[in-house]
Every structure is written in structure tokens, then in C-alpha cells.
Amino acid sequence: MILERCLGSMLLALSMLSNVLGAFVGVNIGTDVSSMPPASDVVAIVKAHQITHIRLYDADPHMLKALAGSGIEVTVGVTNEEVLGIGESASAAAAWINKNVAAYMPSTNITAIAVGSEVLTSVPHSAPVLVTAMNNLHKALVAADLNFQVKVSTPQSMDIIPKPFPPSTATFNSSWNSTIYQLLQFLKNTNSYYMLNAYPYYGYTNGNGIFPIDYALFKPLPSVKQIVDPNTLFHYNSMFDAMVDATYYSMDALNFSVIPIVVTETGWPWQGGSNEPDATVENAETFINKLIQRVSNNSGPPSQPTIPINAYIYELFNEDKRPGPISEKNWGLLFTNGTAVFPLSLGGPSQITGNSTAVFCVAKDDASEDKLRDGINWACGQGQANCSAIQSGQPCYLPNNIKNHASYAYNDYYQKMHTVGGTCDFDGTATTTTIDPSYGSCIFTGSSNSSTGRESLPPTALGPISPGGSTKLPLSKIQFLISATCLLVVLL
């Protein structure tokens, strides 16, 4: 009885922690990279960029060892090739848990297992044993006393929802209903979450012009182009939200509700072939930074506004060895030397790190290129800003776009002149921000960081207890709180 009360109090405390402290953005780490750095370097890069949640597509022992003591939350993957064997053999599942999870915990903070990747659509011959494999792994976690720390789920593609819009009428492909029903029952029984791979890039490029690109990029739409579900009258400000909501409605159609969704993959390629005009640095920068802002507001989609959306960006490095079109090889946030492909900004004031009292002057997202060009010419000329850093071959030249160069020039002028009356306006194309726009070796005047880059994701910290949010306490402190709670229960 005492143990039951202790566990109940513990779960209540952890639930309160996770629900109060909000959502997180994580990053996937693929390994089809021709110049993949050693695992220790990868972890150093992840830590330098303040990335607190990562997903591995396998259970690479080098990475799991290198992550020991970092506190970084890790989702490990069962590969598609392993699903069948684990689904057919409970002993194989137990061996997998012992080798790839138990052997590294608690020093490596493993919090979830992703069983396969889009199994229903990519390896359908394994689908009949998918849920059995998940059950086998969960039972092995129970046997190892790790089931309260490690969740089991399986990432699925949006392709299993044939008609995702309008979200309110979305349903799973009926040919998969039996498997999906079993999957959802497992997630409910184990208090786990639905892993969704949601790519607005593909939703837009394969949509035959049905939706505007701004909708896919989280950009505001004019009133005459608002995206509205005709059945619920919910307004959707982004395709991302609509995809998540379509999945919630699909679960509801099978009579499952409030199984939280974690987006295990989303992103935007920053380079493509001649037939991929939307794969650009500008679009990737816009999508990623607005995604971070979106997740950081700690709200859910219109149908589930109180369930925050945790999301993992695809991906850390470009996987140049992947087959397929040019865009398939260019989803990375960082180059393998740790510098950013484009500037990454935080989502809001609550996520500011470092010198939060500094104010920077940057170009507005919706400013016209002609006006930005005029602004750069004035700042670097009459305004006497030092614009050498945005010249070819210099630290702030890449990404080579007007908005990035304007932000640097505007800020250099503003930092020198605001104390004597200089403003951050530039014909309405500029705005002030307390978010440090520095990235890689490109350091903006006024930054508190003079030696390392400042690309960072929302700085959630260690140990998510539920998919609804992430705690900001180190694992050791959480364990202390749990112990104290249990002690209190015993004394009572």
C-alpha cells in the first residue's frame, strides 16, 4: 500500500512538472554522412548548440557512450530491419533492451524507443508484428524496471491519413485499421505518445498548388486566404498544425482521445535541384525558426489547444549519402564542423539565453527586398556601418541573402548610433529584438558571445516525463524530488 501511494504521488508530481514547464524542440541525427564526425565531437556540437533532445535512428554504441553524463534526452531507434525479429521473439526483445538501453542507463538519459520508422508505409511486411514488437520491448523494460523512464512508440508518416484536410474529417487508411487500433491501445495502456512524421514541405510541393507556400512556412495569410475547416470553423495558421490536428481527429475516429502527439520529424530542405525551386536557404530558415517559435508558445493545435506539440527537427547534418533528389541530401541545420547553415533564433522572451538585456536591430521577415537593398546601401554608406563581415568569404556572408545581410548592417549601425539618436527603422524594414541573431562565427555587435556561435533551440532541460512537456530540472534533482516524495509518503 505504501509503495502504491509512493508511486501515485511520484507520478502526480512528475505530471505536474511536465505539464507546467512546456514543450521542447529536439533534433534528429542521421548518419548517412560521408564525413561524419566522431561521436564525441557530435555530442560536443549538440551541447554547444544547446540542443537538449535528440533522436537516433539506431542504438549506436559510440553515440550512447558519448552521451553519458550529458543529461541530453535520447530517443533510440529500433531499425526497420530489427522489427520483425523483435516482433517474433520476446527473448530477442529482452536482449535488445539489455544491450541497447539498460547497459547505458542511467548515465545516458534514454527516455524513449522509436520502433522502426514509418513501418506501415515503408516495410508493410513487418506491420503484422509491429505492435507485438512494441509489447515485447515494453515487457523487457518492465523486467528491467525501466518502464517508468522509457516510453515505447513508433513513428508513422502522414501517408497513412489519405485525406488530411479538412482535419475534422481525417481518418486513417482503413486497410490499416486493425493494426492502428492495436497501436493506439498500446499507447494508451502504457501512457505513451503517438510519434508523427509531419512534413509541410511535402504537403506543399505535392499539393498541386492547393495551399499557398506561406501556409507551409508558418507565415501569416491575408484575411481572404485564411485556411478554415468548414466543419469546425477552426482557423489553421500553418500546415504543421493542420497535420497534427488531422492525426488527432483520425485517432478520435477510432474512439481514442488525448493520446499526445510528438512530431518526431519535420523540417525543410535548404537546397534542391532545378525542379525543386522551394528548397532554398531562405525557406528553410523561415520554416525552422518559425517552427521553434510555434513550439515555444506551449499550445496545441486548434482541436487540442492545451496539449503542447513537442517536435524534432530533421536533421542535424546533411546526409549527403542518401539516395534520391538533391533536396533529400540537404536538410541539415549544421555543417559537420558545427557551424550553422543559416541563423537560428529562439522562440520568444522566455527562451532568451546569455545577454538577455541586449537589444539588436534586425530586418523584418516581411520586408521587401528592394527596400532592404536600399537599407543596406544606406547603412553601409552614409550610415557608416562596418559591413566587411557580409562580404564574400567573410563570416556573415552565408547565407547569401538580402535579409541576412540587412540584419547585420542594420544592427552594426544601430549599436553605434542608438545612443546619439540613431533608430532601428530603415523605412519600416527593421525591428528591435532581444534575441541574439549571432550564429556560427558570425557575431553581431552587442552580443555577449564573442567566441562561439549562438544558434540554439528552446533551452528546455533534462528529463521529459511526459510528452506533454519537458522539465527544466536535471535528472538528479528529479530523482531527489521523487525520493523525497516517497519518504514523505512513508512517514505519513
Looking at the annotation, which residues are catalytic? 118, 265
Pairing of strands 155-157, 151-153: unpaired
CB 481 within 8 A of CB 466: no
The β-bridge partners of 27 are: 54, 313
CB-count burial class (<10 Å; 0-12, 13-18, 19+) for 315 = buried
Q: How far apart are CA 462 and CA 75, in angstroms?
A: 13
CA dihedral of residues 3, 8, 11, 13 (deg, nearest 10): -110
Q: List Cβ<8 Å contacts ≥24 apart for 200-207.
A: 200/238, 200/239, 200/240, 200/243, 200/266, 200/268, 200/287, 201/267, 201/268, 201/269, 201/278, 201/279, 201/287, 203/158, 203/164, 203/239, 203/243, 204/239, 204/278, 205/276, 205/278
Q: How far apart are CA 358 and CA 58, in angstroms?
A: 41
| Helix 475-491 vs helix 2-20: crossing angle, to nearest 10 | 140
Q: How far apart are CA 484 and CA 478, in angstroms?
A: 10
Cβ neighbours of residue 387 closer than 8 Å, sequence gap 6 or more: 376, 379, 380, 405, 408, 409, 412
Phi, psi of 227 (to 5 degrees): -95, 115
CA distances from 426 to 231, 291, 359 (A): 44, 27, 16
CB 300 within 8 A of CB 258: no
Pairing of strands 110-115, 151-153: parallel
Cβ neighbours of residue 36 closer than 8 Å, sequence gap 6 or more: 42, 317, 336
